[in-house]
Every structure is written in structure tokens, then in C-alpha cells.
A and B are shown apart, each in its own frame.
Chain A
Amino acid sequence: MSTISGPAYVVGDNIDTDQIIPAQYLMLVPTVPEELHKLGSYALSGLPDDLYPERFIARGEETSRYPILIAGRNFGCGSSREHAPIALAAAGCRIVVAESYARIFFRNSVSTGVLYPCESAERLCERIRTGDLVEVDLQNETISVGPARRRLKSLGEVRPVVEAGGIFQYARKTGMVSTP
């Protein structure tokens, strides 16, 4: 997969894991398929309604129409719940482009391989609006909105892990763990 395109959903700074997946849904176990689907249906439901009248998952729906999430600084701060990247992915999100990430969210996205956690030096959350059509070229690490094409920061050393599909696939490729 080298490009991801579609409408973007845009959030601001410091979106913590409670806003990504509120704690009252953490009893759902992500490795149980029907509970995973349910987790996805609550993705970003913790965002305040007044600041985000347009919802990530429309009322009455269980998945999102936004494959691309654009965020400001410190996205995914707070708890270590892996439910956060997993819920976003289960809702249909494929990639997050943030100005910066909290450490554990970034790590969980890489280890699970469910989301590309890309970074942009530019403050895209103020240039892109929810619903704008965006295309991310993962091969060349660029993001385009209309004719304007911008560079993303390189995924660097974690790229092979995300591309392998997470830490297990990566570790198998490199001989760290054997296949069961």
C-alpha cells in the first residue's frame, strides 16, 4: 500500500486517550472480534460536542467515513491503552498525521501495525478542514490537499516495523521469534 486517500477528520492539540476511547468502554477486549467492532464504534466519542459538532463517526453509524486523521501536538497523551489506536483503526482510520505524539500512543501504533503514525513539521490541523480530500503518499512521505503537496517527516527506524505489520511480524522477519 503506497497511498491512502479520502476525507480527513481534523482535531486540535493534546487529544488524550480518554477522548479517543472513553474509559467506560475499556472492558471491551480488542482481541475478541465483536468487541473490537464495538470499540471502533466509540472512536473519538470523547471529543467535546461543542468543539466538534461534526462527529468522527456520524450518529447512527458504527464506522467512520474518514480514513485520515489530522491532529496537532501531543496526540494520544494519557493512558497506555492500546484500545486507542485499535479503536481508530477498527472505525476505519488508516493513518494519523500529527504535529507530535505522546510516546505510548506512537509506540502502540507501531507495535500493533494498525495505524501509520506520521508526523508533519507543519501545523496541518490549521490548514486542513474536516471533510477536505487528502492524499498521503507513504512511499514518498508526502501529503497533498488539492494541488498543494507537502513533505511529511520520515517514519525513520519504525517504518520497517509498521510496514511488516507490527512488532510480531517484524520480529519474525528478523528471526527474533519463531512462528508458532
Chain B
Amino acid sequence: MTLTEQLLARASGKKTVSPGDNVWVNVDVLLTHDICGPGTIGVFQREFGKSARVWDPRKVVIIPDHYIFTSDSQSNRNVDLLREFARAQQLPYFYDVIDDPTGHWQFDSSRGPLARQYGDRYGGVCHAAVPERGHVRPGEVFLGTDSHTCTAGAFNLFATGVGNTDAGFVLGTGKLLLKVPPTLRFRLEDELPKGVMAKDVILEIIGRIGFDGATYCAMEFDGAGIASLSLEDRMTIANMAIEAGGKNGVFPADEKTLSFVQESCRRNGTHAQFEPVESDPDAPVLAEQTIDLSALEPTVAQPPNPGNRELAQRLSSVRIDRAYLGSCTGGKLSDFLAFAQVLNGKQVAVETFAVPATPLVASELHRRQIDGKSVWEILSSAGVRLTENASCAACLGGPMDTFGRLDRPMTCISATNRNFPGRMGHKESKVYLASPYTVAASALTGRITDPREFLPS
């Protein structure tokens, strides 16, 4: 069996499963956030009754992250709805925006978008927060009310996005009927050359197979090249499995995975027993492709979809109005470090916004140094508009006052994950997706730029 088949067989108590089987799986973690959580709670209470209890409070993780730093009153209210539910159900893993468990969240726009406005427990972007907070364990089934839930597959889990109704069902029963997907296997060989990042790997793959090329399929990443990828690299790759239509993306577990997860669960005091799965080498797959990492070059997805691939160097005539760094795809610490490496000592030529994925990333920006300067200082002196307020922000447009939102027809290069019409705001704006290196180099020149010439050798 493939990794995904092993994971679903275990979770459904079966010896073996095959693609196409419909199985009831036991869910290990259900994740939700502020834009789907209130609806999920609504479904749960409608179907199981107002006084119903969730199936297991320790398996529910609630992380408000989407529409947080906005004056929109309904968005602020949604965070309050999550708080009320977490309190009534005594959920230990609710990462509130504010510290007062009986308070109300209200964004104070008079303090501006840059200064920190969250409390000590706030988690930031849920997909980046769950590994930090000890909620991913190899061998488990992890469902979330967000399509980028597939990010957690980097840690050898079955992780996929579901809607409010399915999530409401899980809240009440701890189970969900899932179809076992066929697996597409991607063998990654060799190592990435200078100037090329995990984002380029996944843009190359989506470009090759098409952005519906993995519809209904599991994307399993394998091969000797994986060892050279950090866990954040693997998260970036698994994160965009959905952009090829994939049901999930999944990696084998190695020493890096095990030590990260053990350390994170220990630090957070979360449950730390787990058992990784391994793929049978002869497990039949639907198709297999090899990607020679050493042959990859900085890659861009042009509008209007993430599969519209082109090399950065061939797009040097494209002028941009804005550059954006952030999200579950491109707002992690390694993304910021790469970004700062290119911007160090230089000035951006277009307005550039940067949003850390989590409060931990934000605090590390003050601590980590390059050439004796903090990453925060490097970006600020380069002219980047950098906020402490970790969230999904303009990756998905959001309310009109969202930091970095494309409010008019403009061209943006972004380290995020989607570039459909209107994704980052105005429906006539154009979004080019690229790695943090490429976004940084393009911010310096005002046109799409291959970053390799800007990197120290």
C-alpha cells in the first residue's frame, strides 16, 4: 500500500484498502478557523442539538487566522463565536486573539495595521501554527475546514480539507466517510541549486501535470532528494497539492520529522505517541514522475491559475506594481530568511508588503541576524511594509481594510498559493506566484526577476 492507503487503512481499522474504497475513518485532529468555524459549529448544533458535546475536546483545534486585523464587525464577531464555543465545550486548544476568555475581540484601526494587536495565545496562520503548537503527528488523520490543510501531510499524516458540514459531522462523531484516493508518486532526486526553493518545485510539478492534474488523487513525495529538504520546504510542497487538485500531499517520515514532532509535542505538552507509516516499495500507483531537483530554475505561475508555469527569466518584461510575502505557503521563517538575503542592503522599487505566518515567526524576525542586522531591520530599511500581525491577510483578499489587499486593478508578484481572478482582492488585478527569492528580486527591480543574480555566491 502507498502512504495514503496505509494511513486510511489504519484509521478505518482495516488490514488493507484500495483506491475507490469508501471507508469510515477515525479522525485524530479536526482543525477549524474563524471563517468556517462558526458555520461548522452551526451545523454541529443544528444536527446534534444545542447542548451536544464534541466527540473529544482534545482533538479539536481552533485557530482564528483569516479575518482578524479588520474593523469588519461580522469578522470580529466570528472570533467571539469561536471563543464562546471553546469555553462552553472546554476546548484546550483554542488559540484566541485576545487573552481575556470572557472578552470581545475588536480590532483597533486607530493603531494602524503594523503594531501588534494580539494576545499571548494567538496562533497566526493555522497551517503554520499546527506544527509549532504540537498538533501534527506522523501516522494520523488530520482534517481541517480549509483547503490548505494538506500542508500537514509534510509530517507523514493524511491531511485534507473538508467543508463545514463534514466538519460538523466529525465534531459530533469523530468519524468521516472518505474515499481512498489513487496515488500519484513524485520522486524527487538530487538537491536544489542556489536560488531555487521548494516553491519552485511545487510550481514545476503543478505546471507539468496541470492545475487539475491531481484531482481526487493523493500526491506522494518520495526519493533521495527529500532528505535535503527541510520540514518547512516539505510544508511548502504539500501545501500546494490542492493547487493541482490533489486530495492530499504526503511525505515519508525521516529523522528530521521524528525529532521535530517529538520536540514540538514535548514543548507544548501535547500527546506525543505516534507511529509513522512507510510506503511499500512495490505499491501500485496511478502514475509516477521523477523530478531532478538540481535541474530546476526559478519558476513563476502566471495568472489566471497556479498551473500556468513559466521560468522567471522569461518574464523579465512583466512590470509589477506590488510584491507580497506571506501566508501558509510563503510566510514561514525560512521564507523570510530567503527574502531578507536578497533585500539585504538594498531598496525595493515597488510597494512591498510582508506578513509573518505566526507570532513565533514575527518574533524570530527580531532575533535572527544577517550581517549583524536583524531580519526585521533589513526588511524595514529596504522599505518593506512589515506587520507584527501574523494572519492570512491579503493572500485571499479578505475584507476591504485587509493589510496588503489589492484594492484596484494592479499586478502583484506574491509568495502565496493562488492567482485566480480576484483571489487577492480586485477581480481585474493580476497575480504572479513565485518563491520568496523571486518575489524579493522582483521587488528590487519592479519587474519579474530571476533572483540568482542577486544572491551572494
Contacts and interface: CB of A to CB of B under 8 A. Distances in A.
Interface of A: 14, 16, 18-19, 22-24, 26-32, 35, 46, 48, 73-74, 77-83, 100-104, 107-108, 111-112, 157, 166-168, 171, 176-177, 180
Contacts of A74: 211-212, 215, 245
Interface of B: 22, 24, 35-36, 38-39, 41-43, 46-49, 52, 66-67, 72, 74-75, 78, 81, 145-147, 149, 161-166, 169, 172-173, 175, 177, 211-212, 215-216, 245, 247, 304-305, 396-400, 418, 420-423, 427-428
Contacts of A107: 162-163, 166
Given A102-B245, A180-B52, A82 B39 contact: yes
Give the secondary structure class of A's interface: loop
Given A18-B420, A180-B52, A111 B245 contact: no
B193 to A, nearest CB: 31
A168 B165 contact: yes
Contacts of A14: 211-212, 304-305, 420
Contacts of B161: 79-80, 104
Contacts of B165: 82, 108, 111-112, 166-168
Contact of B146 (A19, A79, A101, A171): A79
Contact of A27 (B72, B162, B418, B428): B72
Given A48-B427, A80-B147, A157-B22, A27 B422 contact: no
A177 to B, nearest CB: 6
A29 to B, nearest CB: 4
B155 to A, nearest CB: 20
B420 A19 contact: yes
10 contacts: A18-B397, A18-B421, A26-B35, A31-B41, A73-B212, A77-B212, A102-B215, A103-B215, A104-B161, A108-B163
A19 B422 CA distance: 7
Nearest to B37: A29
Given A29-B78, A74-B215, 19 more contacts: A16-B421, A18-B422, A22-B427, A24-B399, A24-B400, A26-B66, A27-B35, A27-B72, A46-B422, A48-B427, A80-B161, A80-B162, A81-B36, A82-B145, A82-B165, A100-B215, A108-B165, A111-B163, A112-B163
Given A22-B397, A80-B162, A171-B169, A16 B39 contact: no
